[in-house]
Chains A and B, each alone.
Chain A
């Protein structure tokens, strides 16, 4: 089962699609969660997820705005999509009946 940050990273990377790379993922995580995301957490989690086969990474193009340095591109694998869906389903299941989830699930206790 994924961890919370792993789920966030996979979801953001999947949302960014072809434009998923370190800086873009980090900005998206920070703006969605309104929490700081350190590079250490980001890149070590990317490595861990790649080792588990949930992500695939490769070095992309170098752009002038990056000082001629390459991006580390990220793509979510089918296994990663499955793991994220499992996590999401588990969160939805466990949230049924929770007071803060009532308006979203449409259920009352």
Chain B
């Protein structure tokens, strides 16, 4: 079980469920299969499994309705926050045309909080609704940032600024993948805080109209937490209808 082909087989098999991975790798080892044929077999199985997953609407929803548009909006917010930070802290004027170009420290902090919260909520939903096609959602979520690199003047902000949303997004995905429970109260508090901060930013002309779409994952989280708390209550109540 050594050598490059086996490493490739090991890598490809990571896309399979744990039990299936065990069964497949065990079969290959037991039958002493030719390693390249084994690789083609495992790759073929992974391909069939992945193709099967896309028959469900959830991977499409996670990738094309959530990850791609949210990351586009979050890329612009990342640039906007970086521009404002540079202007306020280092007194360098970049991107005066961005929505937050005129704001002060309170609005900057508000935007930083919103950037983290938007990214985390979006990541959580992507991770929870489509765990096994996460690779596709990950690729789609970096596309807007990578494309922006070409439109970005090299003399301007550090390129890392385009990816500020990625870290909280990854944390959100990790929570979502583990289906970590969020209480209804915590989810509501988060969504309400975000909505209030967005209204504040909006009333100060420091929010792009399309950014309102970024609140949807937070309210979806509230609905999901409410539904799971209702289910838990029903489970405790012996007279409840199933």
Interface residues of A (CB under 8 A from B): 21-23, 26-27, 38-40, 43-44, 59, 62-63, 65-67, 69-72
Q: Is the CB of B41 within 8 A of A65?
A: no
Q: Is the CB of A66 within 8 A of B26?
A: yes
Across the interface, name the chain A residue whose C-beta is closest to B42: A39
Please name all residues of chain B whose beta carbon is closer than 8 Å to the beta carbon of A70 when the two chains form the complex: 19, 22-23, 26
Q: Is the CB of A66 within 8 A of B42?
A: no
What are 25 sample pairs from A and B whose C-beta atoms fall under 8 A apart?
Answer: A21-B23, A22-B24, A23-B26, A23-B30, A27-B31, A38-B44, A39-B42, A40-B41, A40-B47, A40-B48, A43-B20, A43-B24, A44-B52, A59-B19, A59-B22, A62-B22, A62-B26, A63-B30, A65-B29, A65-B30, A66-B29, A69-B25, A69-B26, A71-B23, A72-B23
From known contacts A39-B41, A40-B45, A44-B45, infer whether A69 and B22 are also in contact, taking CB-CB under 8 Å: yes
B27 part of interface (Cβ distance < 8 Å): yes
Please name all residues of chain B whose beta carbon is closer than 8 Å to the beta carbon of A44 when the two chains form the complex: 45, 48-49, 52
- Size of the B side of the interface (Cβ < 8 Å), in residues, is 21
Q: Is the CB of B52 within 8 A of A23?
A: no
Name the one of A39, A59, A65 contacting B45, with C-beta atoms under 8 angstroms: A39
Q: How far is the CB of A52 from chain B (nearest CB, A)?
A: 15
Please name all residues of chain B whose beta carbon is closer than 8 Å to the beta carbon of A65 when the two chains form the complex: 29-30
B65 part of interface (Cβ distance < 8 Å): no
Please name all residues of chain B whose beta carbon is closer than 8 Å to the beta carbon of A67 when the two chains form the complex: 1, 25-26, 29
Q: How far is the CB of B23 from chain A (nearest CB, A)?
A: 4
Across the interface, name the chain A residue whose C-beta is closest to B22: A69
Measured CA separation A27–B47 after assembly (Å): 22
From known contacts A44-B45, A72-B20, infer whether A39 and B52 are also in contact, taking CB-CB under 8 Å: no
Measured CA separation A38–B39 after assembly (Å): 11
Please name all residues of chain A whose beta carbon is closer than 8 Å to the beta carbon of B30 when the two chains form the complex: 23, 63, 65-66
From known contacts A27-B31, A44-B52, infer whether A71 and B45 are also in contact, taking CB-CB under 8 Å: no
Please name all residues of chain B whose beta carbon is closer than 8 Å to the beta carbon of A26 when the two chains form the complex: 27, 31
Q: Is the CB of A38 within 8 A of B26?
A: no
Q: How far is the CB of A6 from chain B (nearest CB, A)?
A: 15
Please name all residues of chain B whose beta carbon is closer than 8 Å to the beta carbon of A69 when the two chains form the complex: 22-23, 25-26, 29
Q: Is the CB of B26 within 8 A of A71?
A: yes
Please name all residues of chain B whose beta carbon is closer than 8 Å to the beta carbon of A23 when the two chains form the complex: 26-27, 30-31
From known contacts A23-B30, A59-B19, A67-B1, infer whether A43 and B45 are also in contact, taking CB-CB under 8 Å: yes
Please name all residues of chain A whose beta carbon is closer than 8 Å to the beta carbon of B47 when the two chains form the complex: 40
Q: How far is the CB of B154 from chain A (nearest CB, A)?
A: 46
Please name all residues of chain A whose beta carbon is closer than 8 Å to the beta carbon of B1 when the two chains form the complex: 67
Measured CA separation A20–B212 after assembly (Å): 56
Q: Is the CB of A72 within 8 A of B19?
A: yes
In B26-77, which residues have CB < 8 Å from any A CB? 26-27, 29-31, 40-42, 44-45, 47-49, 52
In this complex, which of A22, A39, A40, A62 has the most chain B Cβ atoms within 10 angstroms of its Cβ? A39
